[in-house]
Each structure stands twice: as C-alpha cells, then as structure tokens.
Amino acid sequence: MIRGKNGKHIHAESEVPPWQTLRKGIVPTYKYDEDIAEGKGTTIVVDGFEGKQFEFKFDSLKTLISYISWYTVAGSFGQYFGNPKRMDVELKPANSPIPTPIPIPFGFKFPNENSDLSKGSNKYCKIWGPETIDCGQTREGDHVTINVIGAILGEDNRGSIPHTYEIWDFGCARTLSG
C-alpha cells in the first residue's frame, strides 16, 4: 500500500508469487487500484517480505531493519540537513507470528553524543557536522555542493552501523580501531 501525492492512495500487489516467478526467469505481474485517502506523505507497507534471496544474510528481524535503515532511502541523513521529507516504512515478514506490520523509523540517527572518557571509551560518540560544502561548478556550469556528517563511535555504539570493521571495495576503511 502506498499513500502518495495529493491524497491519492495506491494499493499494489503481486498477482503471482514474485520470488518463484523470478526464479523461473519471468518478471512477475502486479495489479494496483487508486482511490482518495486521508493524510500526507508516503507510506510503504511490505507484507510477506522474504529476505533469504539476497547476498546480505537476514538472520533476524533486527538484521533486516538495520539493513533497511542503513542501505535504503529509509535511512536518509536528510533530517541532519533540514530536509523535512519523510517516508514511513512498515514491514511484515513472510510467515511471521507478528500479526501487524512493524514500523521502521525514518532517517538514520547517530547515538547520542558522549565525550566523557572517565569510564572508558566504549560509549564514546563524537559527531562532526552536519556541514554543506561548496564544491564549485561542473564543466557545464552546474553548482555542486555535498552534505557531510561523520562520527567517531566507541565499541558499544558501532552496532548502529552495519559492517563497521569491513573495508569498502575501493579501499577506504569505514572505521579504524586502535
């Protein structure tokens, strides 16, 4: 179900089992209905999500929510830069004993800042930014800016960011440990 612009409500669903159909090399077909709905913004509800088809292993609901919060638009950093846009995401995993969808909070949030080292560094969190940096212009004359925010996280806070000890494919370390 998607609630879109101007009060339009779109209910879309697969007409065939999507994963089994894709495994056969066929693109699944979908149907949708439109009507007028109350409220503002975008709401996406995924009912019957199965995460076992992906390279990323979703061994728990917590892992799946972490993935959505970090690797999709639902994990936007926009709130740090004054962007008022939101997207509500609800998830109901396939074969779940939970009868109602689980809301996933919009926007990535760093842990609360804590620079008190008197009890060790595990709970340390120092945030830099947010800052918008002017990068000049492209060859075509388009103005370019980047939004930057970063953090140093103690061991206890690193769980908020998946894969904190892995190296990116292009050689930059996401975190450094000493």
* Mean pLDDT over each residue of the chain, to the nearest integer: 76
Question: 113-131, pLDDT tens digit by residue?
Answer: 988 888 889 989 999 989 9
Its pTM stands at 0.54
Taking the C-alpha atoms of residue 93 and residue 101, their distance in angstroms, rounded to an integer, is 8
Q: pLDDT band at 175, cuts 50/70/90?
A: very low
Taking the C-alpha atoms of residue 157 and residue 114, their distance in angstroms, rounded to an integer, is 10
Q: What mean pLDDT is predicted for residues 12-21?
A: 82
Q: Please give the distance of CA 73 from its chain centroid, rounded to a whole number.
A: 5
Counting residues of the chain whose pLDDT is more than 90, the rounded percentage is: 13
Taking the C-alpha atoms of residue 102 and residue 96, their distance in angstroms, rounded to an integer, is 11
Element (H, E) at 66: helix 61-71
pLDDT at 143: 94
Q: Any idea of the CA torsion for 162, 163, 169, 175, to the nearest 10 degrees?
A: 100
Q: pLDDT band at 171, cuts 50/70/90?
A: very low
Element (H, E) at 44: strand 43-49
Taking the C-alpha atoms of residue 86 and residue 83, their distance in angstroms, rounded to an integer, is 9
Q: What mean pLDDT is predicted for residues 92-121?
A: 79
At residue 142, does pLDDT exceed 80?
A: yes
